[in-house]
Structures are given as structure tokens and as C-alpha cells.
Amino acid sequence: MKCFTCEAPVAEDKSQSQVNLGRVRIALTIAFFLCLGLTIASIFTDVGPSFTKCAAATVILHFVKESAIQMSEPKGS
């Protein structure tokens, strides 16, 4: 962000809720990819949970992750 008169950079202050939401987004992204890897692994092995359980968890985590991304974006008027 720049000052509109002098073009000097201006620091953007983030609130604590924005910082926390960013951390939640990162945690959900990591959990999603771990679950996706477990889903792919469950196709070929019988070591972990069944494929249907892994696939359902992956789909749910995807929806939750996308919802967190939408919540963290600034609202436009």
C-alpha cells in the first residue's frame, strides 16, 4: 500500500482476528493435503481408514478450507 500523495510505502496493520484467521487457513490447508494423501494411500493399502471415510473427510475439509478463505478476504462494498 502506498501513500497517494507522496508514493511512500505505508505499513498495513492487521488485527489479531485477521492473524488468527490466516493461521487457521494454513492449518486447514495442511490438514487438507494430509487427508488427500491418506485418501490416495487408502486406495492402494489397507493400513489406514477405509477409502470412503478418507474421501468424505477430504471433501469436508475442502469445503471448510474454501469457507475460511472466503471469510479471510476483505469485504468489498
Mean pLDDT of 14-36: 87
User: At a CB cut-off of 8 Å and minimum separation 6, what does 18 contact?
Assistant: 72
Residue 9's beta-bridge partner residues?
2
pTM of the predicted structure, to 2 decimals: 0.71
11-35: b (≥16 Cβ within 10 Å) or e: eeeeeeeeeebeeeeeebeeebeeb
Task: Count CA within 13 A, CB hemisphere, residue 64.
Answer: 17
pLDDT score recorded for residue 35: 93
Average pLDDT, the chain: 86
Helix axes 16-44, 51-72, angle to 10 degrees: 160
